Amino acid sequence: MLYEFLIVFALALFAGLATGIGGAISFFTGRHNNALLAVALGFSGGVMIYISMVELLGDSISFFTSKSAHGAIFANIAFFAGILLALLIDRSIPSDENPHEFQHVSMNQNQFNADPAHKKHGAWMIALAITIHNFPEGLAVVGAGMKSLQLGIPIALAIAVHNIPEGMAVSLPLYYATGNKKRAFLGALLSGLAEPLGAIVGFLLLRPFLNDSVLHALFAAVAGIMVYITFDELLPLAETTGEHHKAIYGLLAGMFFMAATLILFIH
């Protein structure tokens, strides 16, 4: 089991480090390809929705109904518990620092013309908010990866894609506040390390109790977490690009890709 976890941890680390990629990109591009970003975010959302609703939740319902006539109820309780966990983490962050609330302003230097102390405080609060927000994503990678790498890899890729604009959202405010590109890049990189940390904590907490029932309850909860992330972050962020139809095309392509992957490599 430890060997399996190390592989899953590597996936969570990869997904988390994508924030560093976003942090680096933000310093070398003056224009952002909104169409490409909309497709990428939509694709990530499609992957996460399909794999959550069809595979993870579906597998959990199948397992628990084989144990009890009322098993579907338990699987759905775990699913909505995952949604509630993600929601509580999201709502625990003040709206001014919430990563879901500043997508429009994080790229605008004019928003950071306050006094230096205020700029630094706001920038570090943004970094802290995204760090907290990334924690359950690490748990999502663990939950899917412990089922199979065929599930863990596309989920890690989907999360990595949406972590790139988050890295930009951390690094630019830090750069505007401090004038230090290196510090801004490191801030973005470190914020992403919450994901492998979430993977470690999740594994350590669950390992003593890990059996088939706990694992399948975790699958349903992870499905809930990813559904919340998709509808609360990925799709709204894709909409802010102004490329609605391209985001939908990406969403459908992500769902088709995941369906084909499941058929070819798992079922």
- Render pLDDT for 157-192 as a digit per residue (tens, 0 to 9): 878 877 787 777 677 767 776 777 888 888 888 888
Q: How far apart are CA 172 and CA 179, in angstroms?
A: 10
Report residue 182 as tokens: 């290196």
- Give the predicted TM-score (pTM) of the model: 0.69
What's the burial of 200, exposed, middle or buried (CB within 10 Å: 0-12/13-18/19+)?
Answer: middle
Output the pLDDT for position 90: 76
Output the pLDDT for position 103: 44
Q: How far apart are CA 143 and CA 186, in angstroms?
A: 28
Q: In this structure, what DSSP letter does residue 230 have?
A: I
Domain total of the chain: 1
Output the pLDDT for position 123: 53
* Span between the terminal Cα atoms of the chain, in Å: 23
Given a cut of 70, the residues of the chain with pLDDT beneath it are 1, 26-33, 93-134, 136, 169, 173, 177, 265-267
Output the pLDDT for position 125: 56
Output the pLDDT for position 102: 43
Work out the angle at residue 49's Cα, subtended by the Cα atoms of residues 163 and 265, and round it to the nearest 5 degrees.
95
Q: What is the DSSP string of 100-141?
A: TT-TTTTT-GGGG-S-HHHHHHHHHHHHHHHHHHHHHHHHHH
Q: At what angle do helices 244-265 and 149-178 cross, to 10 degrees?
A: 150
Q: Mind listing the pLDDT tens digit for each residue in 13-51?
A: 998 898 888 888 766 654 456 787 788 778 888 888 998
Which residue range forms the structural domain that includes residue 113? 2-265
